[in-house]
Structure formats: C-alpha cells, structure tokens
C-alpha cells in the first residue's frame, strides 16, 4: 500500500535516508504480507490484549505469558499511539484497526512504550515495562511465530527501532565511557535480534536509528541539549557498525537501514516546505501545523510523512532485488 501524500518534497527526503547499501538478498516490498515490529513508543500500537497506552500485547509482570489465542484474537485499537493518532507502522502497512489477520499487510507489533534495550544496563521506566530483550523473549517463549499464519520468508519484514529512550536515559546516570556503554548496548541489542532470527523470524530486517531528540521540546534550549546530541551520535555510530556486521554475517536476509536522524533533521530544517508552522513547541491537540505532539513525540502527520519516506526507500531497494 503506497502512502499517499501531496507533498513531493517529503519523499525527496529519502535522499538522506539510506545509511548503507542493503544486503542483496531476495526482497520486493509489494510481496510483503506480514510486518513485524519491535521497539518503543515511536512504534507501539495499542491492542485489546495489551497494557493500556503501552503495548499491543502483554507486559513484563501482569501478562508476560500471553497465549496464541490471545495474540490471534487481539485487535488494534485505532488512534491509540504516542501521537494520539495513527503512527508510521500503521501508515506503512495500512493496518489501522481490528485484527491484523484481516489486513492485506498484517501488522504484528511487539513494541512497548518506554522501552530501553535491556534492564541489565538501564533501569525500567515502570515495573511493567518490557524492554527490547523481553519483547523478543516473550515473542519466542509464547510461540508467536508458530501461532501467526505462515508465509514465505520473502513475504515478511521485521522493523527494529530502539534507542530513543536509551540515549536520553544515560544522561541521568554516571556513565563516564559512553563508547564502551554503547558497545554493551549493541551486544544486548543484537543478542535479541539473533534470538529472533534463530527462532525463525527471517526475510527482511529494517533497522532505524535515533532521530535528533536533542531538537525536541524536551531538550531544545536546555543545558542538556549538547549532551543529548552527543549521546545520540555515539549510539547511532555504534548501531551503524553493528548493523553492517550483522548484514555481512546474514547473507540470507535483506538487511537495510533507514536514517531517521537525517530524515528528522532535514524535516525540522525545512519544516515550512512541509507545511509545519511550529517545530520548537508542542501541542497535545489535532493541530497538524505542529511537528511535536508533546515534549518528545512527533504528531500523526510526521508519522505519515515518515512512513512515506520509508516506503519510498523500500520500493527503491526492491528494484535491485535478485528474485
């Protein structure tokens, strides 16, 4: 499903979106029937079997052992995301409400709002928060892939978008060597990715880096803005290297990256061309002239434009697919 937009300039932002050449494995976006996602509040959608305002299904302590029946009977609740509207995975798949089974491109979203990569390195935001490694652990332990109707590997893509909370949370801790810390984070991150891969989650993998949260209302103009920018830069550098290594060691996967940092940066720079009027403040309202919905999350309209840019990249990658 192509994401409609009358703003051609939004799609031109994809020129800055490819972090490196994707793996030349079999891939064609039009063939994708199932879209899996892991991550944080930028990616989560609300489900009837999820923790209210945090997840599609389950959590760390109240419902960690959800069943195949819970998953397959689960339904997406519309307009219940961090934008208070639809988000990028919903626009990208066209799966906005109801059972994912009834969508032409099924959305299976295991992201949890407020997540870091692992509790081993950073404390949970809440006692019920499922960090990335737990999202994957529950996905494996609860038999999600066996429960979901089987498709061919080339008909499946998995998105990984995590690190937004990590890069902010480290600023509140006495971490003196961020380079070493990001190396530890990448080990935990890709241990989780490898676990999903070993469990049978194959096809295409899409990794997304951290946008310039230092330009969000939460950090803009504050004493921590420079530190936030440095933290994000370090994380994104470590991620790029880790994705490249993962790609090289998994030639059976189509592995690609989307540079959300560059895309958000250009959108914030050229906001007037995109029809935004305010990129420094926020409005928890339906005024789509604002870029930010609250202090750290973009509006529904940003998600729609972002989905269009990501889809444009995936379509371009399909042209060089060896199928």
What's the confidence (pLDDT) of residue 22? 62
- Tokens read off for 188: 């935990």
- Tell me what pLDDT residue 25 has: 73
50-69 pLDDT, tens digit each: 999 999 999 999 999 999 99
Tokens of 238: 């470590």
Q: Is 98 helix (H, G, I), strand (E, B) or coil?
A: strand
Which string of b and e fits 71-100 if b means at least 16 CB within 10 Å? beebbbbeebbbbbbbbbbbbbbebbbeeb
Give residue 31's domain range: 8-318
Whether residue 2 lies inside any domain: the answer is no
Any bridge partners for residue 205, and if so which? 158, 255
pLDDT at 24: 60
279 lies in some domain = yes
Q: How many domains, the chain?
A: 1
* 152 domain residue, yes or no: yes
Please report, for the domain that includes residue 16, its CATH number. 3.40.50.1110
Residue 1 falls inside a structural domain: no
Structural domain contains residue 3: no
Task: Report how far residue 29's alpha carbon sits from residue 126's, in angstroms, rounded to the nearest whole number.
Answer: 36
User: According to the model, what pLDDT value does residue 274 have?
Assistant: 98
Beta bridge partners of 90: none
Q: State the Cα–Cα distance between residues 182 and 235, nearest whole angstrom.
A: 6
The ranges of the chain with pLDDT < 70 are 1-24, 319-323
Task: Say if 323 falls within a structural domain.
Answer: no
pLDDT digits (tens, 9 = 90+) for 157-174: 999 999 999 999 999 898
DSSP for 228-290, written as a single string? HHHHHHHHHHHHHHHHHHHHHH-TTSEEEEE-HHHHHHHHHHTGGGGT-SBSSS--SSS-TTB
Look up the pTM and report it. Answer: 0.94
Q: How far apart are CA 258 and CA 124, in angstroms?
A: 27
């Amino acid at each position: 499903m192509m994401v409609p937009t009358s703003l051609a300039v939004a799609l031109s932002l994809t020129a800055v979106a490819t972090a490196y050449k994707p793996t030349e494995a079999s891939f064609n976006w039009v063939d994708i029937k199932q879209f899996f996602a892991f991550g944080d509040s930028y990616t989560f959608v609300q489900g009837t079997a999820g923790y209210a305002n945090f997840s599609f299904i389950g959590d760390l302590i109240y419902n960690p052992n959800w069943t195949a029946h819970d998953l397959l009977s689960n339904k997406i609740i519309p307009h219940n995301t961090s934008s208070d509207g639809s988000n990028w995975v919903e626009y990208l798949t066209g799966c906005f409400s109801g059972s994912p089974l009834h969508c032409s491109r099924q959305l299976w979203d295991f992201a949890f709002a407020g997540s870091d990569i692992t509790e081993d390195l950073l404390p949970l935001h809440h006692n019920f928060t499922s960090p990335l490694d737990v999202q994957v652990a529950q996905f494996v332990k609860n038999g999600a892939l066996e429960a979901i109707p089987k498709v061919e590997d080339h008909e499946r893509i998995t998105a990984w978008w995590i690190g937004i909370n990590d890069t902010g949370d480290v600023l509140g801790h006495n971490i003196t060597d961020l380079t070493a810390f990001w190396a530890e984070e990448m080990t935990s991150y890709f241990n989780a990715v490898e676990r999903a891969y070993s469990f049978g989650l194959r096809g295409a993998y899409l990794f997304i880096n951290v946008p310039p949260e230092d330009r969000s209302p939460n950090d803009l103009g504050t004493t921590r803005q420079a530190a936030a920018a440095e933290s994000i830069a370090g994380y994104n550098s470590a991620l790029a290297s880790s994705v490249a290594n993962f790609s090289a060691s998994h030639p059976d996967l189509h592995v690609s990256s989307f540079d959300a940092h560059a895309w958000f940066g250009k959108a914030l720079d050229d906001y007037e061309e995109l029809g935004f009027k305010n990129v420094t403040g926020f409005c928890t309202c339906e005024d789509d002239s604002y870029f930010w919905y609250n202090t750290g999350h973009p509006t529904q309209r940003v998600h729609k434009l972002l989905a269009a840019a990501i889809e444009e990249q995936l379509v371009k990658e399909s042209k060089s697919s060896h199928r």
